[in-house]
Structure 1
Amino acid sequence: MPYTDLPADPPAEAQAATPLRHRLSTRIISLSLAVLLVVLGMISGTLWLSWKLEGAGAAINDAGSLRMRANRVAIELTMAHAQRDNALAMQVQALDGTLAQLRRGNPSRPLFLPDEPAIHAQLARVTQDWHTQLRPIAMAGADSTAPARYIAALPGFVAQADTLVGMIEHDSARKTDLLRLSQTALALMACVGTVAVIYLLYLWIILPVLRLQDGLRRMAAREFSLRLPVETRDEFGTLSEGFNRMAGELQGLYRDLEARVAQKTAELERQNRDLETLYDMAAFLNQASDADTMARGFLARVMRQFDAEGGSVRVLDPRHGRLHLLASAGLPAALAEAASCAAADACHCGDATREAVITITDLRGRRDGRQDGTPCARNGFQALAAFRIESQRGATGVFALHFRTPRALPASDRQLLETLGQHLGTALEHLRLSATARQLAVVEERNLVAQGLHDSIAQGLNYLNLQVQLLDDAVARDDLGETREIVPMLRHGVEESYQDVRELLNNFRSRLGGGELRPAVEDTVARFRRQCRTEATLTIDEQADGIGASGRPLSPEQQLQVLFILQEALSNVRKHALAAHVTVALSHGRDFRLVVEDDGEGFDPAELATRADAHIGLNIMRERAARLDAQLHVQAAPGRGVRIELVLPRRAPQTTETQP
């Protein structure tokens, strides 16, 4: 039957459960039981015929044995011997038993006479001939004429027995033909039944399965209008109804599939475009060096992305509640600098700092009870979208997009713009924190510079000031001798201060890269040898170049701090120790270690700690060691020199802030 176009949803009655009498399983079981009963009946008939034939065969044997036994009786009658009577009696008794068994039958052998009345009548005649004619003669005893009379009557008995055997054989032949006929009928029935069962199974199972298979194939080819005929109320009818419902649902779904695919494609394109926008914006914000450039570039990209005719970026001053313009594009100068736009609570942009997102599709109407005669509306802008610039500190500003025509932003665009505002806020906060970090680094380094100046040049200038006062007194007294003594001291003080200035300048200009610590240390010790007469010995192991085999390599910042500490230690030796010899040793095994030891005058650490003008050089070295997370050990005693040891443990952090 050809496929037809049916309604997508069948009536509710068709969807009900299949009744038991209509089920395919019921038909298959009924057919199987009917075939089984017929086959069992045919087999039972053939078994019954076989049993009867077997009984008839035994009856033929016993009936045929009657002739033999009658002849044996005749033989026994004619023989003259002592035991003749016993043998004769046994033969007569055996023949009687055979006739009795033929008459009664024996199911255990089996032995049956056919149920034909003629056969039983013939058996009765044979039995009568034996009992009336032959048996009395055989049992006559000493009668000498008995053998002759018995032999004369014997042919009649044998003829009756042969007639009985022939009748039984004829009946058995008829039953044999009937058995063969039933077996042939059984074979034909098996063939016809097999063909009938195959045909019925084809109609009931194979054909519906083929229809379903073909329907699935055509459904896979998107023929959603296909419907299968529902011809039965069995399981396949239920499957066909379900298939038709599925086809109807698929047809309904496929009608708008293209629209959904187009919608998903557009959504994916929009998401890709948003990701590209976010990536481009993040790359730009990471490269921008100042807030103005960052704001202008951000605004240009956002306006180009959303086709805005104008835009502005403003930062929030939370203490005064005002918005300061950072960048604008496409706005008239009067609008960009409008005083009403500066107050955070006097314009729509300011509202965005509290509500995160403000979108107005038409500035010509009313909003929040205020007539929208705002500067934006007066300058021809009919739509506005303002978004908060947000960082970890909260709202830090707002950026706005202005449109000449009414414009509604979908939720995806609003989410993208809100995310861009968060990126801008994070970038601005990063600039602020970077500027603050640089300012703190400059302040800290200036503090170290001031300490160095106080410890070197300030003390030298104080010494020169004292000598100048003495020189002034000597000149006032016209004491030429004292003047001549003071002038060399002034010259020496000026030279010392000059050396201090050059040393500080060299220290401030020091910059190191990876692996440059060793040559820098050698230059520092060589410069120390040129500045004073103190003998200096430098010992450096093979791993003290900033790249140790056992310990971690020192970063350039760490190497620079180590060099500053060495320079300060040698400067103290040159200025205060009055030492004849100084030893500098560097090693970088598991830990980095710097040792500076001299044989000068030394000092009392306890007495130095109580003085108001504690040695600033030692404080500078301790501060630099603290920045390295290192340990600085100072061992000193009056008249026994000073030993300074810097130890940078392996567990210490390997990076510090970059020094200016």
Structure 2
Amino acid sequence: MPDSGADLATLPALRHRLSTRIISLSLASLLVVLAMIAGTLWLSWKLEGAGAAINDAGSLRMRANRVAIELTLSQAGKPNALDDQIAALDNTLAQLRKGNPARPLFLPDEPAIHAQLDRVVDGWQHRLKPLARAGGLMAGQATTAYIDALPSFVTQADRLVGMIEHVSASKTDLLRVSQAGLAAMACVGTVAVIYLLYLWIILPVLRLQDGLRRMAAREFSLRLPVETRDEFGTLNEGFNRMASELQDLYRDLEARVAQKTAELAHQNRDLETLYEMAAFLNQATDAEAMCNGFLQRVMRQFDADGGSVRAFDDVRGKLPLMTSIGLPAALSGAAQCVSVKACHCGDATTQSVIAIQDLRHAPARAAGPVSPSPCTRNGFQALAAFRIGSLRGATGVFALHFREPRELPPSDRQLLETLGRHLGTALEQLRLSDSARQLAVVEERNLVAQGLHDSIAQGLNFLNLQVQLLADAVGRDDLPEAREIVPMLRHGVEESYQDVRELLNNFRSRLTPGELRPAVEATVERFRRQCRTEATLIVDDGGDVLPLHPEQQLQVLFILQEALSNVRKHALAAHVTVRLSHGRDFRLVVHDDGEGFDPADLAQRSDAHIGLNIMRERAARLNARLQIDSQPGAGVRIALLLPRGEQQPDAMAASQLQNTFP
């Protein structure tokens, strides 16, 4: 249940708020202004209705005269609109009697005006209208009587108009007086609002401004008077509390400034240490040199008497020593590979930070002896160990040894923990770089092995068979057969030599953006020199497409070289066509008219694919589609398609687009 006492206590506060007063003043002014505007609008509406009544009442004279004219025309036997004029006059009198708020049209609320309207209506209904309606033998006399009675009717109508105009004039004066009063109220209200705003807002603001100026001049004993209970009273109270706190703070300002200066210097030192360490770790290329340089810098920064860096072998639960500085030979030599559970440093692999201020009072290790630890026996009284971590988890620890009891503040611990993560990341990056280099070497060796297997190995196998046949022929003293074998041996040696030169050229191929077409032209030209097969190169201009990435260009060139090598060695073709196009998709087509082969027969001979496996593997690296079509006696067609989505254009080569496909 809400506390009603607390709610009642807040009522005076709400009542005295500056916002409450301003809102109340604004609402009161708004109500007065709206009331006066509503009154002027009402008077304007009344005047507009009276003006319409004056117009209609004035039209009675004209319509009565028109009836007289139409009567004269009727008596003379001429066309006339007597009935229309009578109906129009009746309608005008009905509108004046009933009024019409939509126009608006209505008579003023004056009994005399309504009585005068009754006299006008009575004169029309009982005197003029019966005369206008008379016909037959009495028509001439009725017309004369109508004209004689007309001035009296016009006089009554003029009197009605005059009475309406008199009332409208008085209301017009009242409207002008209201507008003048509204203007006077606006002026008086503006002056009153300005005065109240000055009293409620501007004057307190000026006092606060003067107080701030004097406070800036270090006049901390200044206190502002609290005379109201509104927002400015609250501000004055807050200003006074601020002045009291500043007066207290200024007394020990020098000590605080010195403390902040020391903190900033410490933070700057930490930033410099992090920057220097990051620069060193990015330059180091050897793990041992990296750990040694890291340890030197950390020991110099924190005035440590000794230090060590150990790797973490989680399989054996050991901490092999990678490097140490300042440790006695007995300590570093005896602890080359300690157990994780037998050393305080091992706890850092699971707890991230282990800081022992005084080793003499440290608890004994559960797995170690009860006697003092090796660090204590060698003169070290304090120890701080930090985990070396990476994304793989804990990869090692580094420790700082101190000969005097030492306590590291939290900021130093955080810095050392951050340095440990930097070292772990750098070591992990070094390991990944070594793995990448090894993977590249393995991949390159695999390509060399594939090239040797599909070219030189086959040639050497042929030479081996021919040498065996030659040995058999020599053993049988079959000189004619030996003479037939020697040319084949010479041809096999020349072909193997040619394969070696071709492999060397392939593995030395390196492309930069925009060099694919010159390299293709050089490859086709070299093919023409190596054999008698006629070669045709067709290049389709791709327009404004960007050239492929150099690595993709190199793989395309290798596939072309392997395809032409197969044509030279196996196809026995008279002509080969090489078509290169780079539109939306990249295409390479090599088509010869040689002997061809049976794909089903080739699939059963897994040891004689003649370089097709190499082309398929290179196409797979490109995420391209390689299609090989062949039939015995119909040649071979090799088509490489690299879709647009798999292309990797080199943005730096955009300016060289014309050099790639000129």
Cα distance change of structure 1 residues 467 and 371 upon mapping to structure 2, 3 Å threshold: same
For 1:287, the equivalent position in structure 2 comes to: 283
Return the alpha-carbon distance in structure 2 between the equivalents of residues 599 and 226 of structure 1. 107
For 1:632, the equivalent position in structure 2 comes to: 626
Q: TM-score, normalised by structure 2?
A: 0.62
1:264 and 2:260 matched:
yes
Deviations 1:58-112 (Å, cap 9, x if unpaired)?
Answer: xxxxxxxxxxxxxxxxxxxxxxxxxxxxxxxxxxxxxxxxxxxxxxxxxxxxxxx
Once the two structures are TM-superposed, the CA of residue 222 in structure 1 deviates from its matched residue by 1.6
- The worse-fitting range, judged by mean Cα deviation, of 353-362 and 244-253 is 244-253
The one-letter code matched in structure 1 to 2:593 is D
The one-letter code matched in structure 1 to 2:465 is L
Once the two structures are TM-superposed, the CA of residue 206 in structure 1 deviates from its matched residue by 13
The one-letter code matched in structure 1 to 2:397 is V
Return the alpha-carbon distance in structure 2 between the equivalents of residues 353 and 206 of structure 1. 66
Once the two structures are TM-superposed, the CA of residue 493 in structure 1 deviates from its matched residue by 0.8
Contact map agreement 2:547 2:649 (CA 8 A) in 1: no
1:557 and 2:556 matched:
no
1:520 and 2:514 matched:
no
Return the alpha-carbon distance in structure 2 between the equivalents of residues 242 and 271 of structure 1. 34
Return the alpha-carbon distance in structure 1 between the equivalents of residues 229 and 497 of structure 2. 115
User: Aligned runs of 1:508-547 on 2, under 5 Å?
Assistant: 508-542=507-541
Q: 3-state DSSP class of the match of 1:342?
A: strand
For 2:612, the equivalent position in structure 1 comes to: 618
Q: Superposition RMSD on alpha carbons, in Å?
A: 3.4
Cα distance change of structure 1 residues 285 and 626 upon mapping to structure 2, 3 Å threshold: same
Structure 1: gaps spanning 5 or more residues: 1-15, 24-204, 544-548
1:308 and 2:307 matched:
no
Sequence identity (%): 78
The one-letter code matched in structure 2 to 1:526 is E
| Alignment match of 2:643 (pick from 645, 649, 656) | 649
The one-letter code matched in structure 2 to 1:512 is L
Q: 3-state DSSP class of the match of 1:553?
A: coil
Contact map agreement 2:321 2:337 (CA 8 A) in 1: no
User: Aligned runs of 1:68-83 on 2, under 5 Å?
Assistant: none
User: Aligned runs of 1:232-631 on 2, under 5 Å?
Assistant: 245-339=241-335, 342-368=338-364, 373-542=372-541, 550-631=544-625
Contact map agreement 1:386 1:400 (CA 8 A) in 2: yes
Structure (1 or 2) with the larger CA radius of gyration: 1
Once the two structures are TM-superposed, the CA of residue 591 in structure 1 deviates from its matched residue by 2.0
Once the two structures are TM-superposed, the CA of residue 240 in structure 1 deviates from its matched residue by 8.1
Deviations 1:262-290 (Å, cap 9, x if unpaired)?
Answer: 33333333333323322332232222222
Once the two structures are TM-superposed, the CA of residue 616 in structure 1 deviates from its matched residue by 5.0
Return the alpha-carbon distance in structure 1 between the equivalents of residues 233 and 586 of structure 2. 89
Cα distance change of structure 1 residues 535 and 353 upon mapping to structure 2, 3 Å threshold: same
The one-letter code matched in structure 2 to 1:312 is S
Cα distance change of structure 1 residues 264 and 606 upon mapping to structure 2, 3 Å threshold: farther
Return the alpha-carbon distance in structure 2 between the equivalents of residues 424 and 254 of structure 1. 45
Structure 2: gaps spanning 5 or more residues: 1-8, 17-200, 651-662
The one-letter code matched in structure 2 to 1:383 is A
Q: 3-state DSSP class of the match of 1:345?
A: helix
For 2:160, the equivalent position in structure 1 comes to: none
Cα distance change of structure 1 residues 210 and 655 upon mapping to structure 2, 3 Å threshold: closer
Q: TM-score, normalised by structure 1?
A: 0.63
Contact map agreement 1:303 1:311 (CA 8 A) in 2: yes
Greater share of helix: 2
Return the alpha-carbon distance in structure 2 between the equivalents of residues 211 and 447 of structure 1. 87
Contact map agreement 1:634 1:643 (CA 8 A) in 2: yes
Contact map agreement 2:313 2:320 (CA 8 A) in 1: yes
Once the two structures are TM-superposed, the CA of residue 341 in structure 1 deviates from its matched residue by 5.2
Return the alpha-carbon distance in structure 1 between the equivalents of residues 202 and 272 of structure 2. 58
The one-letter code matched in structure 2 to 1:580 is A
Deviations 1:347-387 (Å, cap 9, x if unpaired)?
Answer: 12222111111111222333246657333223322222111
Return the alpha-carbon distance in structure 2 between the equivalents of residues 490 and 621 of structure 1. 29
Return the alpha-carbon distance in structure 1 between the equivalents of residues 356 and 384 of structure 2. 6
Contact map agreement 2:359 2:383 (CA 8 A) in 1: yes
Return the alpha-carbon distance in structure 1 between the equivalents of residues 219 and 212 of structure 2. 9
The one-letter code matched in structure 1 to 2:250 is Y
1:222 and 2:215 matched:
no
Contact map agreement 1:634 1:644 (CA 8 A) in 2: yes
Once the two structures are TM-superposed, the CA of residue 472 in structure 1 deviates from its matched residue by 0.9
Return the alpha-carbon distance in structure 2 between the equivalents of residues 472 and 211 of structure 1. 121
Q: 3-state DSSP class of the match of 1:615?
A: coil
Number of matched pairs: 452
Return the alpha-carbon distance in structure 2 between the equivalents of residues 511 and 220 of structure 1. 72
Once the two structures are TM-superposed, the CA of residue 242 in structure 1 deviates from its matched residue by 7.0
Cα distance change of structure 1 residues 563 and 216 upon mapping to structure 2, 3 Å threshold: closer
